[in-house]
């Protein structure tokens, strides 16, 4: 206390505003800084002729003595507001200051209490709420709900299986099979999103899906899935053949009832998901032939092996996202196995391409032409296995996007002619003209 009074006496201050002054220090010979006890407020006061004047706004930079000349002093007086003197220094610790401290504490407590409803309101705003659905937005919402890009890939692989079948091309059957497969894919993807809403909300990759954002109600999503799945399976069963319809129904059940819950339980989900992706080309083959042949399993095997470098490379860059979502992926729990499996199936594509002419599906030019692209994806798979970084996984993923359509296109161009097979198998020793006469109605 004696040191405090001595400092005040040396600075020549006689009157202080006790309602806010508790601590002070002299910044320079003319500026005094007053500090509140709660250390949240600071008052900058200048001394002029034994009077204290408060600045409207404190200066952010260091203040150099502004009162060297009388003209500068007059300018400074125009800026500041004069405050009237109040209690002397010896009343700083009086009852008035104690009351003011209590008032400040109460006001601070009231301020803290007033913040609680704001936080509660923000939490309520973050809760799931169904948004008003407009008819103009419905097609886009349903397209995202059915994962239209993935559905397009499923239809294209089923079409490839239909085109590779060793039978004459039937346009009507092809359109029915493609449309029914697309409807089944839309139903499976919608049910998958319906089950994964709580987990998709935690992932940056899936947090903007329609069900997560409340753009469509869960009831409407289930109705959309039923309106796609039931007609799709009926179309495949009645319009194509029962075998293709059974494969479509099995694939929907495998994707929604087995693969979807396994994603949060075991890394086996990756192998189950690969089986789901391998069935569409088999469905295309059975739609054309009505039977399960070795060629159907070969096409399914190519799609099965292709999915591992494709998905493992994709999941490697989304490890943090899958971890937040609670999904059990190889890239999260077994990163070494993730890279090894991707490399193995890259090499398996070379072997599967070599088997195609052995099964009399393509000519021997197919394994020769497809060897460079298969070697390239195997090279990227090896780099992914060796480096284990995002750069190598990204290159492998983007390579897989063009590798599959190019491989299927080369396979189709190297397909064995149906006429040659019929001439060789059905009519041994017969002439080509006789075979044509038998095929014509």
pLDDT at 5 over 60: no
Which residue is associated with the tokens 């060789």? Answer: 424
Q: What tokens were used for 255?
A: 């994707």
The answer to whether residues 366 and 410 touch, using CB atoms and an 8 Å cutoff, is yes
Does residue 254 or residue 2 have the better pLDDT? 254
Go through the domains of the chain in sequence order and give each one's CATH number.
2-91 (no CATH), 131-292 (1.10.357.140), 293-422 (1.20.120)
Higher pLDDT, 417 or 115: 417
pLDDT, residue 116, reads: 44
The DSSP element (H or E) to which 24 belongs, if any, is strand 23-26
Q: Is the dihedral of CA 20, 22, 25, 26 positive or negative?
A: positive
For 64-86, how does the pLDDT look when each residue is reduced to its tens digit (9 = 90+)?
444 444 455 455 445 445 555 54
Q: For residues 317 and 346, is the Cβ–Cβ distance under 8 A?
A: no
Spatial distance between the Cα atoms of 338 and 387, rounded to a whole number of angstroms: 13
Percentage with pLDDT > 70 across the chain: 64
Sequence-distant (6+) residues with CB within 8 A of 106 are none
Query: What would you report as the CA-atom Rg of the chain, rounded to the nearest whole angstrom?
Result: 39
In this predicted structure, what is the pLDDT of residue 93?
A: 42
CA-closest candidate to residue 196, choices 258, 252, 269, 261:
261
Work out the number of other CB atoms within 10 angstroms of the CB of residue 111.
9
- Average pLDDT value for residue range 362-367: 93
Name the one residue in this structure whose structure tokens are 């480096």. Answer: 387
Structure tokens at 68: 């060297």
Assign 118 a pLDDT band (cuts: 50, 70, 90): very low
Helices in 86-196 by DSSP H: which ranges? 95-126, 138-145, 148-164, 171-195
Would you tell me how many other CB atoms lie within 10 Å of the CB of residue 118? 9
Average pLDDT over every residue of 174-202:
92
- Pick the residue with more confidence: 358 or 201? 358
pLDDT digits (tens, 9 = 90+) for 202-247: 888 888 888 988 888 899 999 999 999 999 999 999 999 999 999 9
> pLDDT tens digit string along 282-305?
999 999 999 999 999 999 999 999
Q: What is the pLDDT of residue 422?
A: 56
Model pTM greater than 0.85? no
Sign of the Cα torsion 439, 411, 291, 233 reads: negative
pLDDT at 431: 36
| pLDDT band (50, 70, 90) for residue 130 | low
Predicted pLDDT of residue 356:
94
Check residue 252 and give its pLDDT.
Answer: 96
C-alpha–C-alpha distance, residues 195 and 423, integer Å? 53
């Amino acid at each position: 206390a004696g040191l405090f009074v001595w400092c005040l006496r040396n600075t020549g201050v006689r009157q202080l505003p006790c309602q806010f002054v508790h601590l002070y220090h002299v910044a320079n010979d003319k500026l005094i800084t007053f500090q509140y006890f709660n250390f949240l407020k600071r008052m900058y006061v200048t001394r002029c002729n034994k009077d204290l004047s408060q600045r409207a706004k404190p200066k952010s930079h260091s203040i150099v003595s502004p009162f060297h000349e009388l003209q500068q002093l007059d300018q400074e007086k125009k800026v500041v507001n004069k405050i009237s003197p109040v209690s002397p220094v010896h009343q700083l610790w009086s009852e008035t200051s104690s009351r003011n401290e209590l008032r400040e504490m109460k006001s601070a407590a009231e301020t803290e209490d007033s913040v609680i409803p704001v936080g509660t309101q923000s939490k309520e705003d973050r809760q799931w709420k169904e948004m008003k659905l407009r008819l103009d937005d419905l097609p886009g919402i349903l397209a995202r709900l059915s994962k239209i890009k993935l559905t397009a890939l499923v239809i294209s692989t089923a079409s490839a299986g239909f085109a590779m079948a060793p039978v004459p091309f039937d346009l009507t059957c092809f359109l029915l099979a493609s449309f029914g497969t697309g409807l089944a894919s839309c139903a499976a993807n919608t049910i998958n999103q319906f089950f994964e809403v709580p987990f998709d909300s935690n992932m940056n990759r899936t947090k903007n899906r329609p069900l997560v954002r409340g753009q469509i109600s869960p009831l409407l999503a289930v109705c959309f899935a039923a309106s796609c799945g039931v007609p799709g399976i009926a179309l495949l069963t009645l319009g194509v053949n029962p075998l293709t319809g059974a494969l479509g129904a099995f694939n929907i059940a495998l994707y929604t009832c087995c693969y979807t819950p396994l994603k949060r339980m075991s890394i086996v989900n990756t192998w189950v998901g690969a089986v789901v992706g391998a069935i569409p080309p088999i469905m295309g083959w059975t739609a054309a032939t009505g039977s399960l042949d070795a060629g159907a399993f070969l096409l399914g095997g190519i799609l099965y092996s292709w999915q591992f470098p494709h998905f493992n490379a994709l999941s490697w860059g989304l490890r943090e996202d899958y971890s937040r979502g609670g999904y059990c992926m190889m890239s999260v729990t077994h990163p070494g196995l993730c890279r090894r499996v991707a490399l193995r199936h890259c090499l398996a594509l070379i072997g599967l391409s070599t088997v195609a002419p052995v099964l009399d599906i393509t000519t021997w030019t197919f394994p020769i032409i497809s060897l460079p692209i298969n070697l390239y994806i195997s090279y990227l798979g090896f780099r992914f296995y060796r480096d284990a970084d995002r750069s190598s996984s990204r290159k492998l993923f983007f390579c897989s996007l063009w590798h599959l359509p190019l491989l299927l296109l080369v396979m189709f161009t190297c397909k064995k002619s149906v006429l040659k097979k019929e001439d060789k198998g059905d009519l041994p020793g017969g002439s080509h003209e006789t075979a044509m006469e038998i095929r014509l109605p």
